[in-house]
Homo-oligomer: A and B are copies of this chain.
Amino acid sequence: MENFTFHNPTHIIFGKGAEDKVGTEVKRYTSKVLLHYGTGSIIKSGVYQKIIDSLSESGISYIELPGAMPNPRLSLVREGVDICKKENIGFILAVGGGSAIDSAKAIAVGACYNGDVWDFFDQKAQPDKALGVGVVLTIPAAGSEMSNSMVITNENGWHKRGSTTEIIRPVFAIMNPELTYTLSDYQTVCGIADILAHVLERYFTNSTNVDFTDRLCEATMRAVIHNAPLVLKDPSDYNARAEIMWAGTIAHNDFLSTGRIGDWASHQIEHELSGIYDVPHGAGLAVVFPAWMKYVYQHDVRRFAQFAARVFGVDYSFVSPEITALEGIDRLKQFFSILGLPVSLKELEIPDDRLEEMAQKCKKVNKQEGTIGNFVKLNQQDILNILKSAL
């Protein structure tokens, strides 16, 4: 087990009607917020009105910044930063999923910085101060509501880059599973793929003697896999929605990675896909992850066999653990497929003519080494091979 620190002070308010508490929660920090959300679905669903009412009841004024979209854009972040500086706003309330939250986090660090906020994503600077961010979650997927990370897309060159800092963990996250009833099946399953990917990135590690967190990861994946079909069968199944929602938070709040070093290559490869083609992050991950697994499984057949046996209940082959390992990867791919997710670039409608460009951009993310991933370090050719195998 690796040495670690863990400090996650996000206050979770989870359950039916939780959004009614947003005014009271915000009031602890400020009386004026930047209200940041997406493209209107929260208005249609009625969440917007509830939040406005709750803020008003608590005497909180707000300036609105709508328009956060999937793969949230740098231009909107800059706009938010300007508003916060000009209007002297000290707190951002994000309503939505990972896009609105990540965008809010970027605004929160940008507003406390004299340079350009992209510096934090371009590894030119590390943020040391941030405005407070509160969350009303409506899409379980990114886990951003309790995480220390954010991912922003720079339209200039379509670079999608992440930044990690403890100071951007939201101070509270309000989570009512009922607010997720109106998600489409496709949004729902993209979220599920994202959640599973967050666990998988942590699960495939070279850290040894991590039995406890292995089992916690497996427990989380099993719960998601068990509840996913229930949500599709009945989108208003409160309990299944609740399990997925809470698992989505836990998958990415760093609890499951205590004492272990995760991989994260698949996320970086996927960022190139969604950076250029603007596909949903979860859909991209459903394509990339099984391809990555097949490419690297020989690095640690035992771990892949454990994944197959414990997560998908594959009968362990004592004669050939490799058979078990491969069966686990197939099962994951089948699971994604049954949910209606793409499992190839073709299904994602991504052509084969820019794979080299993506591999080239991707390996530059980690400037010093020119490789990505920790479980297996991948160079540009490896990334290209994985993308080609996903065609």
A/B interface sample: 26 pairs, CB < 8 A: A1-B239, A1-B243, A2-B15, A3-B16, A3-B18, A4-B12, A4-B15, A5-B11, A5-B12, A5-B13, A6-B14, A7-B10, A7-B12, A8-B8, A9-B9, A12-B258, A14-B259, A208-B239, A209-B239, A209-B243, A211-B223, A211-B227, A211-B243, A212-B243, A212-B250, A215-B223
Instruction: Assess whether B3 is in contact with A247, with CB atoms less than 8 Å apart.
Output: no
Q: Of residues 5 to 49 in A, which have CB atoms within 8 Å of B's CB atoms?
A: 5-16, 18
* Any B CB within 8 A of the CB of A219: yes
Q: Which residues of B contact A11 (CB under 8 A)?
A: 5-7
A residues 241-290 in Cβ contact with B at 8 Å: 242-243, 246-247, 250, 255, 258-259
> In the complex, A391 Cα to B13 Cα: how many Å?
44
**A2 CB contacts on chain B under 8 angstroms:** 15
A166 to chain B: closest residue by CB: B11
Q: How many residues of A contact B (CB 8 A)?
A: 41
Q: Are A7 and B9 in contact (CB under 8 A)?
A: yes
User: Quick one: given A2-B15, A259-B246, are A212 and B216 in contact (CB under 8 Å)?
Assistant: no
Contacts of A331 in B (CB 8 A): none
Q: Is the CB of A222 closer than 8 A to any CB of chain B?
A: yes
Nearest CB on B from A223, distance (A): 4
A226 / chain B contacts, CB cutoff of 8 Å: 211
Given known A-B contacts A9-B7, A14-B5, A211-B223, A242 and B216 have beta carbons under 8 A apart: no
Partner-B contacts on A (CB < 8 A)? 1-16, 18, 208-209, 211-212, 215-216, 218-220, 222-223, 226-227, 238-240, 242-243, 246-247, 250, 255, 258-259
Cβ contacts under 8 Å, A209 to chain B: 239-240, 242-243
List, in ascending order, chain B residues with CB within 8 A of A10's CB.
Answer: 7
Given A5-B14, A212-B227, 17 extra CB contacts under 8 A? A1-B15, A1-B238, A1-B242, A2-B15, A3-B16, A4-B15, A5-B13, A6-B12, A8-B8, A12-B258, A209-B242, A211-B223, A212-B243, A215-B223, A216-B216, A216-B219, A246-B259
